[in-house]
């Protein structure tokens, strides 16, 4: 039986009525965002070779993007909370297609830096805010699983677009690959946003999916409006800053798979010198396996997040540590791709666990986009730092052994801050 409001204007219908939002979120994650982030690693080396520069000078565009995300995240959070989200998404998708076109005609690293900074504006809307906000508005139950399913398409898109990019680069060059991706982004994403996206379920005459289930599970049979901590209170609390540190270090570590192709080249260079055995698989394949793990991990992590955020933190940290150990210590065996697959679970933390931690600690009410936007600043800065730190350490501070050792230390910080934040989950007043 459908759950209706007292004035009978809104009703909860079957799951099919809510599928358009899921399709839109999957598309935004699986096409423009997957191309921009999950497929970037295969471009670094050929671009650096053409311009005769270090890979770090090319990959720094990712840091420019993440810094830009940090700058624009609070603004976008406020705009999404106040205005219709659809025009923002259309502008973001159009801008992202234009950025890929810009990359295809770049004449030097600086053009990638400019494009990367512009990409921060588009990506914070399409990936950083859209899915978490739309799912939070359209669904009352199973929020973690649905966010995980939708954001899994960044990994699934990587599995598709990484080998496609590698094939186009090998036959026609990296410029043609980026131009192809510009066309795909525009042709696929714009129609889906126009047809499927509405800011709130009320615009289609609907209540959020799961309203009836939430009513059955409540003590009085009614569904209260979601509450949240007032920003003026929450952002002055210690737990807010603990979550900031947590998000920073999660995304810092998540940048490592972007350098798996370079890691495999590093291993094979040592093998050519007689210092090691060649890597078990190719670099692009290793990165694609990590993205497959990312896709699986997002659904799994979403499931654990719905059960218990603390369990999800434990799963995230364990997968990250075990994956790094396998990739680091067993590069010539089948444990290399297995480790990459397991480590992919950790990547899921950025788009699944971070928004769920924000939701659990600060509430799912009207201030949720504001808190998540502020926390996203730290998350994106962690990613920006990773795209500078990891290639620099790999090239100047002892190779990838040092990279992996530092990453394990960072995961320890994730564990400590994650459980510290969860322990303070119900201490702040909500309204």
Report pLDDT for 211: 81
| pLDDT < 70: residue spans in the chain | 1-8, 214-226, 275-276
165 vs 292: CA distance, rounded Å = 16
Report pLDDT for 1: 38
Q: Token pair 């007032």 is at which residue? A: 230
Q: What is the tens place of the pLDDT at every residue in 319-354?
A: 999 999 999 999 889 999 999 999 998 988 888 888
- Indicate left, alpha or beta for 205 from its phi (over 0: left) and psi (-120 to 50: alpha): left
315 vs 304: CA distance, rounded Å = 8
13 vs 105: CA distance, rounded Å = 48
Closest CA to 364 of 144, 215, 148, 153: 144
Report pLDDT for 281: 85
Report pLDDT for 5: 42
Report pLDDT for 218: 57
Q: How many residues does the chain have?
A: 431
Instruction: Count CB-CB contacts under 10 A for residue 167.
Output: 12
Give a three-class secondary structure readout of the chain. Answer: CCCECCCCCCECCCHHHHHHHHHHHHHHHHHHHHHHHHCCHHHHHHHHHHHCCCHHHHHHHHHHHHHHHHHHHHHHHHHHHHCCHHHHHHHHHHHHHHHHHHHHCCCCHHHHHHHHHHHHHHHHHHHHHHHHHHHHHHECCCHHHHHHHHHHHHHHHHHHHHHHHHHHHHHHCHHHHHHHHHHHHHHHHHHHHHHHCCCCHHHHCECCECHHHHHHHCCCCCCCCCCEECHHHHCCCHHHHHHHHHHHHHHHHHCHHHHHHHHHHHHHHHHHCCCCCCCCCCHHHHHHHHHHHHHHHHHHHHHHHHHCHHHHHHHHHHHHHHHHHHHHHCCCCCHHHHHHHHHHHHHHHHHHHHHHHHHHHHECCCCHHHHHHHHHHHHHHHHHHHHHHHHHHHHHCCCHHHHHHHHHHHHHHHHHHHHHHHHCCCCCCEC
Q: CB of 148 within 8 A of CB of 24?
A: no
Closest CA to 426 of 355, 362, 371: 362
Domains of the chain: 15-200+209-423 (1.20.1250.20)
Report pLDDT for 3: 44
144 vs 151: CA distance, rounded Å = 10
Give the pTM: 0.74
Report pLDDT for 8: 52
């Amino acid at each position: 039986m459908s759950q209706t409001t007292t004035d009978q204007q809104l009703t909860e219908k079957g799951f099919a009525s809510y599928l358009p939002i899921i399709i839109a979120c999957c598309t935004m994650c699986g096409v423009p965002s997957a191309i921009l982030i999950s497929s970037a690693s295969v471009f670094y080396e050929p671009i650096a070779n053409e311009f005769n520069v270090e890979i770090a000078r090319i990959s720094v565009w990712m840091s420019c993007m993440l810094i830009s995300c940090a700058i624009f995240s609070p603004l976008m959070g406020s705009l999404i909370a106040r205005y219709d989200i659809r025009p923002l998404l259309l502008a973001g998708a159009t801008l992202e297609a234009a950025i890929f076109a810009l990359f295809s005609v770049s004449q030097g690293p600086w053009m990638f830096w400019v494009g990367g900074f512009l990409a921060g504006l588009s990506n914070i809307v399409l990936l950083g805010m859209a899915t978490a906000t739309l799912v939070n508005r359209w669904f009352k139950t199973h929020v973690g699983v649905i966010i995980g399913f939708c954001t899994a398409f960044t990994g699934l898109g990587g599995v598709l677009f990484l080998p496609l990019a590698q094939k186009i680069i090998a036959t026609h060059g990296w410029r043609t690959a980026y131009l192809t991706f510009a066309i795909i982004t525009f042709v696929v994403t714009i129609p889906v946003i126009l047809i499927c996206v509405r800011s709130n379920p009320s615009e289609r005459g609907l209540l959020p999916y799961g309203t009836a289930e939430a009513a059955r599970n409540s003590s009085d049979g009614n569904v209260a409006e979601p509450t949240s901590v007032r920003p003026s209170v929450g952002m002055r609390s210690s737990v807010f800053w603990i979550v900031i540190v947590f998000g920073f270090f999660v995304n810092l570590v998540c940048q490592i798979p972007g350098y798996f192709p370079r890691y495999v080249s590093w291993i094979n260079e040592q093998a050519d010198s007689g210092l090691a055995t060649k890597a078990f698989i190719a670099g692009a394949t290793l990165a694609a396996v990590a993205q497959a793990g990312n896709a699986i991990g997002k659904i799994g992590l979403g499931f654990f997040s719905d059960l218990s955020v603390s369990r999800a933190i434990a799963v995230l940290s364990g997968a990250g540590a075990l994956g790094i150990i396998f990739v680091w210590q067993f590069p010539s065996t089948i444990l290399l791709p297995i480790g990459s697959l397991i480590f992919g679970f950790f990547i899921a933390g950025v788009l699944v666990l971070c928004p769920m931690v924000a939701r659990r600690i600060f509430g799912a009410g009207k201030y949720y986009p504001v808190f998540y936007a502020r926390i996203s600043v730290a998350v994106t800065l962690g990613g920006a730092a990773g795209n500078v730190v990891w290639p620099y350490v790999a090239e100047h501070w002892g190779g990838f052994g040092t990279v992996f050792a530092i990453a394990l230390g960072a995961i320890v910080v994730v564990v400590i801050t994650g459980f510290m934040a969860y322990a303070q989950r119900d201490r702040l007043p909500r309204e």
